[in-house]
Structure 1
Amino acid sequence: MPLQPIDPVSDSRVEHRTTILNGYTYHYLYGEPPSGKYIATIFLIHGWPDCSAGWRFQIPILLDMGLRVVAPDLMGFGGTDAPKVPPNDISLYGLKRASDDIAALAKVIGAKQIILGGHDWGGFVVWRAAQWHPELVTHVFSVCTPYTPPHKEYISLEDLVKNQLPQFAYQLHLASGEVEKIVNDEQSIRQFLKGMYGGRGPNGEYSFDPRKGVLVENLPMIGDSKLLNGEILDYYVKEYNRHSIHSTLNWYRTRKANWEDDLALLDKKTITVPTLFVQATFDSVLKPEMSKNMEQFLPNLSRAEVAATHWALMQKPEEVNAIISNWLHGQGFGMKSSL
């Protein structure tokens, strides 16, 4: 039977729920196995420019394995609040705040321990959540996003781009305030999303370059994306239209705030719980070589790789699902999957 992803508009397998976490309203997808009995709870944390529905291909197989699934919209995304900065502090969009909100959500649903999975920014979040809340997190997996330990010295985004990771230059553009001047209504949001998920113009024009950012001049000509189209694209556009794109870009303005928080974790660089890292071979930003030293800090690390771009969750869902489910099976959860 072919994989049937969750329909975020209407699907009996999940509920749309909201709750107050540390003073702000969060929206999350919530699902239990058909039997109503679950062996563990797994949280799935999305990245940018995604939302909880970014896990729509993974949620069904995890439910079938007997897991309770929770997929929140991060701060500034979808149905979750998007506090303005200023007057609010940028740390509301930081990794520690996200980790604390995950812990608060686990308490709301009565989960004393959870498995954590992340992608893109969500990958950064789950690594840090395991460090901030080690009593809560029993297992961690990340798709595309390698683990990076806390650093004593602050490295600005400008210096990081100049000296280490030139492909992170797009983050300078996203943080600049220029993108939201162009991507500011339903139509421009639609074109932006089509382009971010691989849509091209009639002559192969693209709308995102890791070393430049969003190529706004190309947005009007971008055609359909194979990964995000039809009703699911309509859903994403609606979700982004709630707050506009600005609040989601605050995540790219948190580098110093995250570093300041990380200083409290300098003696907690090692994550001892079982971990899984799924590398995407053709990720143009989170490149394979960035993960080469992870074993130094993750003694129980398993590795896997899929021949996909950054959007591996929806580009190669069967392979990603098999990797995750087989790893979970090896940790004592559910039934083993096959490719």
Structure 2
Amino acid sequence: MMEMPALQFVQTNGIRMGFYEAGPKTDKPPMVLCHGWPELAFSWRHQIKALGEAGIRVIAPDQRGYGVTDRPEPVEAYDIEQLTADLVGLLDHLQIEKAVFVGHDWGGFVVWQMPLRHPDRVAGVVGINTPHTNRAWADPIELLRKRFGEHMYIVQFQDPAREPDKIFGSRVEQTFDAFMRKPARGPDAPAEEVVAGVGASPRLNLAFPQMIANYDAKRDPRTPILSPEEKQVFVDAFTKTGFTGGINWYRNMSRNWQRSEGLDHTVRVPSLMIMAENDAVLPPSSADGMEKLIPDLEKYLVRGSGHWTQQEKPEEVSAKLIEWRRRRFG
């Protein structure tokens, strides 16, 4: 795979997980890079190379349900307890006591949970685009349904018939053509236009399955962020696996909420929040107030980037990770 170290495997928490590693094994604490949806460890190819060359040990797994990693059948196998336990098992296999966990998109939700659930294994946390928040006052799916309606993609993902899975799975190249582009406008543009480049609605409903079903790359004026060869890596992987494994993470949002009652959401490790100026789904404003939950928090804004920050602005993201890691941990 282009620009990637050799693929390795580990048995962790009942699954076989694929991962990539670079940098000296003596470097401590290593950085573990956790991708989002619909992505892969390959999404971190630029950071793996840059951090490794900077002398920082870096590890990037294909997470549960993705790429070369196992895809268990039960939906409950993808709850936050399992996703965080997978990373603990990865550390155990590599005989690593503590790591700095870096997460983008859904990977961000996972890494912010690590110091809450496994504080003895976490040296620090970096969220990219994804903020840390307190436990919602009600079931998050019901809150999303009330705010955005039935067509909001996360609400649609709860469909037991798995229609969204089928839409994406039958249009794999179309999906990555649509998603992996720079935003057409700034952060105030309607998300339908920013993310999919099709007819924008004045209401932010984020109906991604329907947008993909109607998407025509020839009509999309936005700039792709992937080369044809890079896009093919994603297309090949998701053609083989489908999208259900990753979507099952969303199908556990209510379960995660129910099972987190009473959990202290304070993060007590050095933390960095990297925000993207033009992310319409996770805008910088979504990180407002994080300081109340994270006493040791720094924030950094990447200007001109949409949602896929580590791939849109790879040099800037890598440089900030290296600078922060060296300053805070030597």
Equivalent residue number for residue 311 of structure 1: 308
Equivalent residue number for residue 323 of structure 2: 326
User: Residues 166 and 276 (structure 1 numbering): CA distance in 2 closer, same or farther, change over 3 Å?
Assistant: farther
What pairs up with 1:8-23 in 2 under 5 angstroms? Answer: 9-11=1-3, 14-23=5-14
What pairs up with 1:58-69 in 2 under 5 angstroms? Answer: 58-69=47-58
Write the distance in 2 (CA, Å) between the matches of 1:168 and 1:14.
Answer: 40
Write the distance in 2 (CA, Å) between the matches of 1:59 and 1:168.
Answer: 36
Residue 183 (1) aligns with residue 168 (2):
yes
Residue 216 (1) aligns with residue 212 (2):
yes
Write the distance in 1 (CA, Å) between the matches of 2:59 and 2:133.
Answer: 25
Write the distance in 2 (CA, Å) between the matches of 1:167 and 1:97.
Answer: 28
* AA partner of residue 312 (structure 1): T
Write the distance in 2 (CA, Å) between the matches of 1:167 and 1:329.
Answer: 45
**CA contact under 8 A between 1:313 and 1:320: conserved in structure 2?**
yes
* AA partner of residue 248 (structure 1): G
Write the distance in 1 (CA, Å) between the matches of 2:26 and 2:78.
Answer: 34
Equivalent residue number for residue 142 of structure 1: 127
Structure 2 counterpart of 1:123, from 93, 98, 108: 108
**CA contact under 8 A between 1:45 and 1:72: conserved in structure 2?**
yes
Equivalent residue number for residue 64 of structure 2: 75
TM normalised by structure 1 equals 0.84
Write the distance in 2 (CA, Å) between the matches of 1:245 and 1:207.
Answer: 22
Equivalent residue number for residue 188 of structure 2: none
Per-residue deviation at 1:253?
0.9
1:236-258 CA distances to partner (integer Å, 9 max, x unpaired)? 11111222112221122111111
- Range moving further from structure 2, 62-71 or 270-279: 62-71
* AA partner of residue 236 (structure 1): F
What pairs up with 1:86-165 in 2 under 5 angstroms? Answer: 88=74, 90-151=75-136, 153-163=137-147
Percent pairwise identity? 28
- Please give the secondary structure, in 2, of the residue aligned with 1:135: helix
Name the one with the larger helix percent.
2
Write the distance in 1 (CA, Å) between the matches of 2:283 and 2:149.
Answer: 11
- Please give the secondary structure, in 1, of the residue aligned with 2:86: helix
* AA partner of residue 55 (structure 2): G
Per-residue deviation at 1:37?
4.0
- Please give the secondary structure, in 2, of the residue aligned with 1:139: strand
**CA contact under 8 A between 1:42 and 1:68: conserved in structure 2?**
yes
- Please give the secondary structure, in 2, of the residue aligned with 1:20: strand
Equivalent residue number for residue 189 of structure 2: none
- Structure 1's consecutive aligned runs of 4 or more residues displaced over 6 angstroms after TM superposition are 165-168
Write the distance in 2 (CA, Å) between the matches of 1:246 and 1:252.
Answer: 10
Per-residue deviation at 1:225?
5.7
TM normalised by structure 2 equals 0.86
Write the distance in 1 (CA, Å) between the matches of 2:59 and 2:149.
Answer: 35
**CA contact under 8 A between 2:144 and 2:155: conserved in structure 1?**
no
User: Residues 249 and 225 (structure 1 numbering): CA distance in 2 closer, same or farther, change over 3 Å?
Assistant: farther
* AA partner of residue 297 (structure 1): L
Equivalent residue number for residue 19 of structure 2: 28
**CA contact under 8 A between 1:18 and 1:26: conserved in structure 2?**
yes
- Please give the secondary structure, in 2, of the residue aligned with 1:67: coil
- Range moving further from structure 2, 217-226 or 323-332: 217-226
1:40-83 CA distances to partner (integer Å, 9 max, x unpaired)? 31100000011101111111221123222111111111011111
* Coordinate RMSD, CA, aligned: 2.6
1:154-199 CA distances to partner (integer Å, 9 max, x unpaired)? 3241323424x789922123333222222334xx201111111128
What pairs up with 1:48-63 in 2 under 5 angstroms? Answer: 48-63=37-52
Gaps of 5+ in 1: 1-8, 334-339
Write the distance in 2 (CA, Å) between the matches of 1:285 and 1:41.
Answer: 29
Per-residue deviation at 1:329?
2.0
* AA partner of residue 133 (structure 2): T
**CA contact under 8 A between 1:75 and 1:93: conserved in structure 2?**
yes
Write the distance in 1 (CA, Å) between the matches of 2:284 and 2:165.
Answer: 30
